[in-house]
Chain A
Amino acid sequence: MNPALALPNRRVEEWKYSDLARALGDAGFGDASAGVQMRVLPACVEAIELDQPVRPLWVSAHYGKLKTNAVSALSLAKAASGLALRVPKGQVVAAPLRLTVTGEGHTRLLLVLEEGASLTLLEEGDAAGTRNAGFEIVLGANAELHHVRLAPVSVAVQVEEISVRLAGDARYYGHFANFGAKLSRTELAIALEGEGSEAHLSGVSVLSGNAHADVTTYVTHAVGHTQSTQLFKKVVGGHGQAVYQGKVTVAKGADGADSRQTAKALLLGERAEADLKPELEILADDVKCAHGAAVGDLDADSLFYLRTRGISEQEARHLLIHAFLEDALSDIAHNELRETVRGAVSRALNEVAA
């Protein structure tokens, strides 16, 4: 095998908490092609299957151009399928576009929002299938994307890298809800390349049993007057393991960059684990950056207070766990999608806090 395409193991720093080589074993990801399915294509969105021999210019101009890690290099090399989508200049798509990542093996998605375009995307995945998906998202000047990813509980290995590139004044709102897999890795690489661009990332993980979920983010403020926020909350029970690694880089000369990152975990069992690692690299002079991480248990004073009001211990625990996740969930702007995620979170919490 080409050494550049070798699977990372825990001796690779970025994969320390998620030993991909071990989880996959000798079988690896295999050579099959997974796919990206769409229920309904909105009228003003253009879609191209990536297995076409001839690709239009807007695809070839962007495909395979963004930051790649070991696994996305692999999906680029091996994926024989996938989808490219384009929202043309100035188009505002009102109804959410729903995608499902399915099957076994590798797949790719390219999403291009041209200048001033706007889209809400709900991305789901099927639970079966060992899978490696590579997403590239290109946001033109003043484009706006709301991206909600809802990953189901899975016993497979599911890896996804999402690279987002933002031109001036473009806005990316990403929410990543995750209920764990044998190994689940969501890696976000956000490049704020135009002045005035912003990325707001939030997410919740609710893990029970032996579930693992790793959210790793790289946010680069390449130019000044860019803004990024991150808010990731984890509730971990059983033998679950939640991982957050977040690296924010502010490039030299990117003055006026504003970055905040918060990761918090609530551990509900002796064997539950959370590894939170926020990281900052600042090469500019005049920036506002803050980060924080905390791992804890439910607050005893709050539990007692609720119980003195007649709320049972179990209901009080549920209430406090929901409350813990609430600020990350309320970041989802689209009402219907927010309620979809809330519903999935409630069901997962019934498992973890039962």
Chain B
Amino acid sequence: MLDIKNLHVAVNGKEILKGLSLRVDAGQVHAIMGPNGSGKSTLSYVLAGRSGYDITEGSITYNGEDLAALPPEERAAKGVFLAMQYPVEIPGVTTMMFLKSALNAQRRSRGESEMDAIGVLKSVRAKAATLNVSEEMLKRALNVGFSGGEKKRLEILQMALFEPKLAILDETDSGLDIDALRLVAEGVNGLRSPSRAMLVITHYQRLLDYIVPDRIHVLAKGRIVAEGGKELALELEAKGYEQIVKDAA
């Protein structure tokens, strides 16, 4: 589904990703672990299409298509979803109105009919209940005054609603206490499917106790330096990043 080859990305002329290669197939959950400054967030932004992240070499192929050539909104319509580390607050737009605009924009882009307000509401409500997203949250301005946990739950609610083919979760565990983490992880696990790929980006092994990956890649200094099964997370936790990076060198 996702095939990244020898990816080099520069931000403001500074090279952050230096030849990253990665392949994720449908039905698989892969984790990217790495220390601060390794390029994790750069990878998530470049996959979502943020401007200012320049691909200087290499390729990103998504379902046989050059992903880098598409603007962010077309990537979304084609099934790429990024759950952000810091979801933005937008005063003046209610959460419900935002969900409806986004869902219908994606549907329009795919040539599907738009859903009316009641249809969207029903669909949102069904998914909101399991993520403990209250009716009151949906009426509030998008992310404004939401706690860290509420913001992350809303990201996962969007993932459930948009039903992406490729979901990228950027530091979804940051700022969550253990109960919130469990709730979010259950939400994510409920969305695992043979037709969906997930890329879970995290600094800590903790999240991977709840969302157990098929494969783990260790990112350091803009490159994948180690790969392995789920047991690699425990090894990282025990030895620390420094040792793993050294062992790999």
Q: Is B62 an interface residue (CB 8 A)?
A: no
Binds A, one of B30-38, B81-89, B183-191, B204-212: B81-89
Q: Is A58 an interface residue (CB 8 A)?
A: no
Given A309-B102, A312-B105, A319-B101 in contact, is the A302-B88 Cβ separation under 8 Å? yes
- The residue of chain A having its C-beta at the shortest distance from the C-beta of B161 within the complex is A309
Q: Is the CB of A312 within 8 A of B73?
A: yes
Q: Is A331 an interface residue (CB 8 A)?
A: no
> Which chain A residues lie closer than 8 Å to B51 at the CB level?
304
Given A309-B76, A310-B77 in contact, is the A322-B105 Cβ separation under 8 Å? no
Contact residues, A293-336 vs B (CB, 8 A): 299, 301-302, 304-313, 315, 319-320, 322-327
- The residue of chain B having its C-beta at the shortest distance from the C-beta of A327 within the complex is B92
Q: Is the CB of A327 within 8 A of B72?
A: no
Contact residues, B123-164 vs A (CB, 8 A): 158, 162
Q: Is B49 an interface residue (CB 8 A)?
A: yes
Most buried by B among A301, A306, A310, A322: A310
Option from B49, B90, B92 in Cβ contact (under 8 Å) with A308: B49
- The residue of chain B having its C-beta at the shortest distance from the C-beta of A316 within the complex is B73
**Binary per-residue interface labels of chain B (8-45) against chain A in the complex, 1 for a CB within 8 Å, 0 otherwise:** 00000000000000000000000000000000000000
Given A312-B105, A315-B105 in contact, is the A307-B92 Cβ separation under 8 Å? no
> Which chain A residues lie closer than 8 Å to B101 at the CB level?
311, 315, 319
Distance of B157 from chain A, by nearest CB (Å): 12
> Which chain B residues lie closer than 8 Å to A302 at the CB level?
88, 90
Most buried by A among B49, B50, B91, B101: B101
Q: Is the CB of B102 within 8 A of A306?
A: yes
Q: Is the CB of A327 within 8 A of B105?
A: no
- The residue of chain B having its C-beta at the shortest distance from the C-beta of A322 within the complex is B92
Considering the chains assembled together, what is the distance between the CA atoms of A304 and B158 in angstroms?
A: 16
Given A313-B71, A315-B105 in contact, is the A308-B88 Cβ separation under 8 Å? no
Count class of interface residues, chain A: 20 to 34
**Binary per-residue interface labels of chain B (87-107) against chain A in the complex, 1 for a CB within 8 Å, 0 otherwise:** 110111100001001110110
Residue contacts A-B, CB under 8 angstroms, 6 given: A305-B88, A305-B90, A308-B73, A310-B73, A310-B103, A320-B93
| Chain A residues engaging chain B, CB cutoff 8 angstroms | 299, 301-302, 304-313, 315, 319-320, 322-327
Given A301-B88, A315-B101, A319-B101 in contact, is the A307-B76 Cβ separation under 8 Å? yes
Considering the chains assembled together, what is the distance between the CA atoms of A313 and B73 in angstroms?
A: 8
Distance of A345 from chain B, by nearest CB (Å): 13
Most buried by B among A299, A313, A319: A319
Distance of A341 from chain B, by nearest CB (Å): 15
- The residue of chain B having its C-beta at the shortest distance from the C-beta of A326 within the complex is B92
- The residue of chain A having its C-beta at the shortest distance from the C-beta of B102 within the complex is A309
**Given A309-B102, A310-B77, A310-B102, 12 further pairs, Cβ under 8 A:** A304-B51, A305-B87, A306-B98, A307-B71, A307-B73, A308-B84, A309-B162, A310-B105, A311-B105, A312-B105, A313-B73, A319-B93
Q: Is B48 an interface residue (CB 8 A)?
A: yes
Q: Is the CB of B48 within 8 A of A308?
A: yes
> Which chain B residues lie closer than 8 Å to A299 at the CB level?
88
Q: Is B56 an interface residue (CB 8 A)?
A: no
Given A304-B50, A319-B101 in contact, is the A310-B90 Cβ separation under 8 Å? no
Distance of B112 from chain A, by nearest CB (Å): 12
Distance of A317 from chain B, by nearest CB (Å): 12
Distance of B42 from chain A, by nearest CB (Å): 14
Q: Is the CB of B76 within 8 A of A308?
A: yes
> Which chain A residues lie closer than 8 Å to B195 at the CB level?
none
Distance of B94 from chain A, by nearest CB (Å): 9
- The residue of chain B having its C-beta at the shortest distance from the C-beta of A315 within the complex is B105
> Which chain A residues lie closer than 8 Å to B102 at the CB level?
306, 309-311
Given A304-B72, A305-B84, A307-B72 in contact, is the A323-B105 Cβ separation under 8 Å? no
> Which chain B residues lie closer than 8 Å to A325 at the CB level?
92
> Which chain B residues lie closer than 8 Å to A306 at the CB level?
90, 98, 102
Distance of A330 from chain B, by nearest CB (Å): 9
Q: Is B193 an interface residue (CB 8 A)?
A: no
Distance of B142 from chain A, by nearest CB (Å): 9
Q: Is the CB of A324 within 8 A of B72?
A: no
- The residue of chain A having its C-beta at the shortest distance from the C-beta of B143 within the complex is A305
- The residue of chain A having its C-beta at the shortest distance from the C-beta of B82 within the complex is A308
Most buried by B among A299, A315, A324: A315
Distance of B234 from chain A, by nearest CB (Å): 33
Option from A310, A315, A327 in Cβ contact (under 8 Å) with B162: A310
Option from B92, B93, B106 in Cβ contact (under 8 Å) with A310: B106
